[in-house]
Structure formats: C-alpha cells, structure tokens
C-alpha cells in the first residue's frame, strides 16, 4: 500500500512535465519565424560571424609563400574578378584590404542574407543574385541583374568577387556565370583560396 501511495504523486507529475515540454515547443514555433525575419536579430548574428572571422585571422598566420591581397600580387590584374570556391571564401572579408573597394555577388537565398550582412560589416558591397546554371528555371533568381551590376562595378575600377562553383552542383566545377562575366567585361579571373591550418571540414554540407 505504501509503495502504491509513493508512486501516486510521481505518476501525477509526469503529465505536467510533458505538458511543459509541449508548451515550450509551441512557444518556440510561435517565435521562431518572427525571429528569423527580424532585421535586428539578423544583424546581431552577422556581427557575431564578423567578429569570429576577425578572431580566426588574428589567431592564424598566413601560410608562407601565399600571395597577399595587399602585397601588390594582383595589382596588374585590377580591377579583376576574384574567383573563389565554396568553403574557401569565408575568410575573404577579413583578408581583403580595406582601402580597396570590393563588390561581391551573394545568393538571394534566406541563408545567404546573413552572409551579405556580414560583408557589410567589412565595408564590402553585396549584390544579390544566383546564376551559373544553363537551366532556364534558374533565370529568375537575379543572376542576370547581378552580373550587370558586377560588370558596371568593374567598369568604374572596383574589384568584384564571385563563388565559381554552384551550390548543390559539382564541387570545384565552375559555373557559367563567372565565365560570362569575364567575357562581357574583358577583365581577368583572379583565383583565390583562403584556408587555415586548423579547420573542420564538413564533408556532407554540399
């Protein structure tokens, strides 16, 4: 009898715990969308990303023999089209010299908006657009307008940056967008890769 009585309160408390869990989940679902759309929250996250990138640069040395943006290695090619691979572009804002204007093409996806906001923290202008595929289904993603904007930037002496390979495509396989920009502008492609000796590679992130 005593054993049964001892179990009583515990069994009564269990639904309360589950109820609290359901309430918490319902509350999170309610605020998740407004938070994701909040300009303040996005700017806060972008600022954290920017500080992290600066921290990585401060705590990692440039590999000996690497050409530096600010060391004049690319002066003869400017204004040029900086070509980057996915995964080797994240540190570019921290290493690009502040005195030189740069315009970067950033996807119009919701995730890439944080990337665009982070670039602004470094004084880099972002134009939004996706391109590179031959499929007509992708022509409405702003790629054409973005290419025109980048071409105009090159014409006034600004360097521009694009990620050469296409999301969800073949890694390290350049799309047509960056090639088309070089052809239309007559400016050279400048291949750039920035990585660190200490890193974590996300193999299944593509």
How confident is the model at residue 83, as a pLDDT? Answer: 93
For the chain, give the number of residues: 206
Q: What are phi and psi for residue 32, nearest 5 degrees? A: -60, -45
Question: What radius of gyration, in Å, describes the C-alpha atoms of the chain?
Answer: 24
Report pTM.
0.74
Cis peptide before 79 (omega within 30 of 0): yes
One digit per residue, pLDDT tens: the chain, 206 residues? Answer: 455 544 544 445 444 556 666 777 676 566 666 666 778 888 898 999 999 999 988 888 777 766 666 566 778 889 999 999 887 788 889 888 888 899 999 988 777 888 899 999 999 999 998 755 555 454 556 778 899 999 999 999 999 999 988 776 677 888 888 999 999 999 999 988 887 777 777 666 55
SS3 117: helix
SS3 55: helix
What whole-number distance in Å separates Cα of residue 43 and Cα of residue 183? 36
What whole-number distance in Å separates Cα of residue 50 and Cα of residue 175? 28
């Amino acid at each position: 009898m005593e054993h049964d009585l001892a179990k009583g309160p515990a069994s009564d408390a269990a639904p309360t715990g589950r109820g609290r869990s359901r309430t918490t989940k319902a509350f999170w679902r309610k605020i998740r969308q407004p938070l994701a759309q909040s300009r303040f929250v996005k700017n806060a996250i972008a600022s954290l990303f920017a500080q992290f990138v600066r921290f990585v640069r401060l705590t990692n040395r440039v590999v000996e023999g690497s050409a530096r943006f600010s060391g004049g290695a690319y002066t003869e090619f400017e204004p040029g089209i900086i070509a980057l691979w996915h995964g080797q572009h994240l540190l570019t804002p921290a290493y690009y010299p502040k005195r030189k204007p740069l315009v970067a093409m950033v996807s119009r996806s919701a995730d890439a908006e944080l990337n665009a906001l982070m670039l602004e923290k470094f004084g880099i202008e972002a134009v939004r657009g996706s391109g590179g595929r031959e499929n007509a289904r992708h022509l409405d993603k702003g790629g054409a307008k973005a290419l025109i904007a980048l071409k105009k930037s090159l014409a006034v002496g600004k360097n521009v940056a694009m990620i050469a390979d296409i999301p969800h495509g073949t890694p390290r396989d350049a799309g047509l967008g960056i090639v088309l920009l070089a052809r239309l502008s007559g400016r050279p492609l400048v291949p750039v890769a920035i990585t660190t000796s200490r890193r974590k590679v996300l193999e299944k992130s593509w």
